[in-house]
Chain A
Amino acid sequence: DAGVIQSPRHEVTEMGQEVTLRCKPISGHDYLFWYRQTMMRGLELLIYFNNNVPIDDSGMPEDRFSAKMPNASFSTLKIQPSEPRDSAVYFCASSLGRTGGLGEKLFFGSGTQLSVL
């Protein structure tokens, strides 16, 4: 099992550019989560999907952020246009069922370090 795969590992871009982060969850997992980690705010849940359907996007900071999950093996988080305050580490995580319900845990990818200049 390759685990949750995120790409790219590092992304450096200029303000105003579009940024797309990618995630491949563990096969068979039906929940996918996008988190953002910063020194100021810690680990924040941005959005999560169940069976490819977005369930709660209340954590998405603003309309510049969008996320899609076109199939069970792929998700994207897009920022357009990007701003310096978007600089953070973005994590994707997947789980088999709801955490806590049946004992499932979150499996995290290694994250994407985004720097917006």
Chain B
Amino acid sequence: AQSVTQPDIHITVSEGASLELRCNYSYGATPYLFWYVQSPGQGLQLLLKYFSGDTLVQGIKGFEAEFKRSQSSFNLRKPSVHWSDAAEYFCAVTGGSYIPTFGRGTSLIVHP
């Protein structure tokens, strides 16, 4: 069975600082990996996804993520955070069932 771990429940950064949100997955074969963002009172919106090919994936809103098979990781990054990036971020993995399993989420707090 597939699983996802997001080790950080909360992350606090200053506006303009760089950001990295961690995601580790467990799946025996090559996974399909996703990052979603949830703004307050809203549903989840896809930021980016990895299926194959280039391990560095570009997404919307200036986000990127890198798939590292050796570390079973798919960390989300952004070089300069904006106050509007404050939200809940979810990593998800699909395996053989093609049904996504979500991590517990990381809450991003942005200080001015």
Residues on A facing B (Cβ under 8 Å): 4, 33, 42-43, 45, 48, 56, 91, 93, 98-101, 103, 105-106, 108-111
Q: Are the CB atoms of B41 and A110 closer together than 8 Å? A: yes
Determine how close the nearest CB of chain A comes to the CB of B55; give it in whole angstroms: 16
- The answer to whether B43 touches A105, judged by C-beta atoms less than 8 angstroms apart, is no
6 contacts across the A-B interface (CB closer than 8 A)? A4-B43, A91-B44, A106-B46, A108-B45, A110-B41, A111-B41
Among B32, B43, B98, the residue within 8 A (CB) of A108 is B43
Which of A45, A101, A108 contacts B44, CB < 8 Å?
A108
* Smallest CB-CB A-B distances: 9 pairs: A108-B43, A100-B32, A98-B98, A100-B94, A42-B104, A43-B102, A105-B46, A108-B44, A100-B98
**Complex Cα gap A98–B97 (Å):** 9
Find chain A residues with CB under 8 A from B42 CB.
Answer: 110-111
- Chain A residues near B90 (CB, 8 Å)? 43
CA distance A98 to B32 in the complex (A): 11
Expressed in whole angstroms, the minimum distance between the Cβ of B79 and any Cβ of chain A is 24
Q: Is A91 touching B43 in the complex (CB atoms < 8 A)?
A: yes
C-beta contact mask, B88-101 vs A, less than 8 Å → 1, else 0?
A: 00100010001111
Is B46 within 8 A of A48, CB to CB? Answer: no
B34 at the interface (CB under 8 A from A): yes
CB-CB contacts below 8 Å: B21-45 with A? 32, 34, 36, 41-45
Task: Check if A106 sits within 8 Å of B100, measured CB to CB.
Answer: yes
Beyond A4-B43, A91-B44, A111-B43, 13 extra complex contacts between A and B, CB < 8 Å:
A42-B103, A43-B102, A43-B104, A93-B43, A99-B98, A99-B100, A100-B32, A101-B98, A105-B46, A106-B46, A108-B43, A108-B44, A108-B45
